[in-house]
Amino acid sequence: MKDEKQKIPVHVAVIMDGNGRWAQKRGWPRIRGHREGAESVRAVLRACKTAGVKYLTLYAFSTENWVRPKTEVAGLMTLLSKFLKEQARELHENQVRLRTIGHIHDLPKSLQKELQRVKDETAHYTSGTLILALSYGGRVELTDAMRRIAGRVKDGALEPEAITEETIRESLYAPDIPDPDYMIRTSGEMRISNFLLWQLAYAEFYITDVLWPDFREPEFMKALEEYSRRHRRFGNIK
């Protein structure tokens, strides 16, 4: 049970890195690492409920991931479909809604249908929110936002001088979701890899050498303990 005085982030974003390396270290196919990584997703979802984290965004598949071998991409799509079917019950039991961000139309039609079904069925839940970033890229999101704003200017609905940070925020994929307080990246890589470029502006970062398939409840709780020791100033000196 968490310390009642412990600061808990409202929104945690995770770059789930290291699945392939985890499998290769053991002489197994990369897809085996992705399967084990799916178990870590379930573990972290449970940990979020225990700790009181309300929003969890997972970088599940980037726009750059499409260049991976076709067999690996196909395996990931199959794994995601299987995860949705198996996880839907737990989402219902815990009253967690599913959201997605990214170019979902790039995904296989059957997967799009499955995602929409689970999103529709869980849309009314308020205990927590799981956001899957799929075919997602931060630069693509900002480009799409600029196009929406340019369209409003072209139509005469918005003056260029009236564009503010809030105008940009309202044009992002999920403007109703608060920005992440905390960004966790596994496998020790020291970069954000085109993830939530606008939203992570003031997030605290946590980098761990632990590979994603090994990142279960104890590791997540360890990360939250580190967050509780951070002092977020947002540009202030206090």
Q: What is the pLDDT of residues 66-96, one digit of tens each?
A: 999 999 999 999 999 999 999 899 999 999 9
3-state SS assignment for residue 97: strand
Does residue 17 have an active-site annotation?
yes
Does residue 120 have an active-site annotation?
no
The closest alpha carbon to 79, from 26, 46, 32, 45, belongs to: 32
Instruction: Provide the 10 A C-beta neighbour count for residue 220.
Output: 24
Task: Determine which one of 65, 94, 144, 179 is catalytic.
Answer: 65
Residue at 88 is within a domain: yes
d(CA 123, CA 139): 27
Residue at 1 is within a domain: no
Residue-wise pLDDT tens digits, 36-66: 999 999 999 999 999 999 999 999 999 999 9
Residue at 218 is within a domain: yes
Residue at 15 is within a domain: yes
- Domain CATH code at residue 86: 3.40.1180.10
Residue 73 CB partners (closer than 8 Å, separation 6+): 65, 66
Residue at 142 is within a domain: no
d(CA 227, CA 230): 5
Q: How many domains does the chain have?
A: 1
The first and second tokens of residue 145, run together, are 């936002």
Task: Determine which one of 3, 17, 19, 181 is catalytic.
Answer: 17
Residue at 213 is within a domain: yes
Domain, as residue range, for 41: 11-137+180-228
Contact 208, 219 (CB under 8 A): yes
Residue at 95 is within a domain: yes
Long-range CB pairs of 233-238 (<8 Å, 24+ gap) are 234/202
Residue-wise pLDDT tens digits, 118-140: 999 999 999 999 999 999 999 99
Residue at 143 is within a domain: no
